[in-house]
Amino acid sequence: EAQVTQNPRYLITVTGKKLTVTCSQNMNHEYMSWYRQDPGLGLRQIYYSMNVEVTDKGDVPEGYKVSRKEKRNFPLILESPSPNQTSLYFCASSLDNRRRMNTEAFFGQGTRLTVV
Amino acid sequence: AQSVTQLGSHVSVSEGALVLLRCNYSSSVPPYLFWYVQYPNQGLQLLLKYTTGATLVKGINGFEAEFKKSETSFHLTKPSAHMSDAAEYFCAVSLFFGNEKLTFGTGTRLTIIP
């Protein structure tokens, strides 16, 4: 089954304690990205990756890091989490649309992070 | 830069009534437009998309949307609401060939009244 898998689904942590949210896709997609969803703000892109070893900032990258060492995985790293990073996070993947038209983004189930 | 405005953060309709969720966009180039649905505790699922061609787009679950360039709108409609349509709906725009970078609206929560 084609899917994007995020782990964990729920996480409560303390300020300053490094954490990683994993994201894996089994569709051989080139493009992956991370979004955060906050009430009244919709989804905002944090980071994205066009392919292995190619990453770039989205709209709200402060306080986050990513890496893309393998095509299927795109972890989101919070090196020193703060309460303002409490949010619902989504990973998404899609084919590289410069080569294929009419593709769609597939989203993971989400990770609800609380930083206290 | 592109942006999306969804009018109405909450919309309530009676079961069997017309559903109309509004979306307006701004873009410097012809956009690609999408509607996603989010059910409670789930990720986002694509309802429909407009890239090129026919401006009336049909999606899953009986939803459709019409791209109106002159009005910069992409409103989502369904003729007859069902209880299972209760969810949050997001309009999104992309300037690339597809949705490598999606800019989302703030969402509209749809409630269905029995």
What pLDDT, on a 0 to 100 scale, did the predictor assign at position B11?
A: 97
Residues 6+ apart with CB under 8 A from B96: A97, A98, B32
pLDDT tens digits along B18-63 = 999 999 999 877 788 999 999 988 889 999 998 878 889 999 999 9
Q: Tokens representing A66?
A: 């990513």
DSSP A17-43: --EEEEEEESS--SEEEEEEEETTTEE
Residue A111: is its pLDDT beyond 90?
yes
Best CA proximity match to A112, nearest among A84, A90, A94: A90
Confidence of residue A51 (pLDDT cuts 50, 70, 90): confident
Chain B contact for A94, CB < 8 A?
A: yes
Task: State which residue of chain A sits closest to B98, comparing Cα positions.
Answer: A97
Confidence of residue A104 (pLDDT cuts 50, 70, 90): confident
* CA angle at B63 for the pair B103 and B108, rounded to the nearest 5°: 45
Chain B contact for A1, CB < 8 A?
A: no
CB-nearest partner of A105 from B51, B99, B103: B99
CA distance B24 to chain A (A): 15
Side-chain half-sphere CA neighbours of A17 within 13 A: 9
If you average pLDDT over residues A23-28, what whole number do you get?
95
What pLDDT, on a 0 to 100 scale, did the predictor assign at position B54?
A: 85
pLDDT tens digits along B81-96 = 999 999 999 999 887 6
